Amino acid sequence: MSKKLFTSLTLALWLFMATFSSLAQPNNFVVDTNGKPVDNDDEYYIRPAITDNGGRFTLINRNGSCPLHVGLENTDLPQGYPVKFNYLSNNVQDEDVRVNRELIVEFVDVLTTCVQSSYEWRVGENDTNSGRRVIITGRDDSTGWYDGYFRIVETQSVGIYNIQWCPIEVCPTCEPICSNGGILRENGKILFALDGAALPVVFQKKDD
């Protein structure tokens, strides 16, 4: 083998390995509306990247009973509740949230008459009309324990993301029906639900 051919093959192999490595390691940081990494010690408002889709994420009293559902405000006024993100394992050393990592999402600073032990997100019931799975809050040990793990996935636009339910990291044998979250309009309310068009979102740090 000539030296020139050997050099070309080596370069081609290096480029392939570099490309494969960048695709295989979903370690990019999630950034907020100021372009700074999202920190799991801080609180953030989630809101649609396109304001015509609603306002900040909030708690929705869907049918007059608990638990409360995850949804969006009907306006883009500064309302809604912030969230915090927590990794599924305390062994994770990163304080900055990364894309494609499974997380617990929880509303904080909640003031409501519906007292719950937790306002963590989880997959709830199927909507009877659309068949879509709505997102509710609170723990329920009677359902699949992996229902409360979500991930933030990138879109083609920097700083704009989808929120996805696909708990293959915590339960690789569960074969979940993965889906991005989107909006479901019902009786003047905006619910957050799976199995429909994805809702691109951004993360705004509280008090910014």
Lowest mean pLDDT among 14-23, 25-34, 129-138: 14-23
Q: In which band, very low, low, confident or very high, does the pLDDT at 129 lie, cut at 50, 70 and 90?
A: very high
pLDDT at residue 144, as a whole number: 63
Quick one: how far is CA 160 from the chain centroid?
A: 11
pLDDT (average), residues 117-140: 92
Average pLDDT on 172-182 reads 94
45-96 confidence digits (pLDDT tens): 999 999 888 999 999 999 888 899 999 999 877 889 999 999 866 545 667 8
* pLDDT mean across residues, the chain: 85
pLDDT of residue 90: 52
Query: Residue 11 in 3-state DSSP?
Result: helix
Return the amino acid letter for 131: G
Indicate the pLDDT class of residue 146, thresholds 50, 70 and 90: confident
Higher pLDDT among residues 23 and 125, named by residue? 125
Contact between 32 and 38 (Cβ < 8 Å): yes
Give the pLDDT mean for 10-26. 39
- d(CA 98, CA 40) in angstroms, rounded, equals 10
Buried b (16+ CB within 10 A) or exposed e, 156-178: eeeebbbbbbbbeeeeeeeebee
Digit-coded pLDDT (tens) for 107-128: 999 988 888 878 999 999 999 9
Model's pTM, two decimal places?
Answer: 0.83
Predicted local confidence at residue 94, as pLDDT: 66
Which residues neighbour 115 within 8 Å (Cβ) at sequence distance 6 or greater? 66
Cα dihedral: 155, 158, 163, 165 (round 10)? 50
Classify burial at 93, counting beta carbons within 10 Å of its beta carbon; exposed 0-12, middle 13-18, buried 19 or more.
Answer: exposed
Which domains does the chain carry? 28-205 (2.80.10.50)
* Model confidence band, residue 2 (pLDDT cutoffs 50, 70, 90): low
Residue 186's pLDDT is what? 94
C-alpha 53/C-alpha 47 separation (Å) is 9
Statement: residue 18 has pLDDT above 80: no
If 0-12 CB within 10 Å is exposed, 13-18 middle and 19+ buried, where does residue 150 land? buried
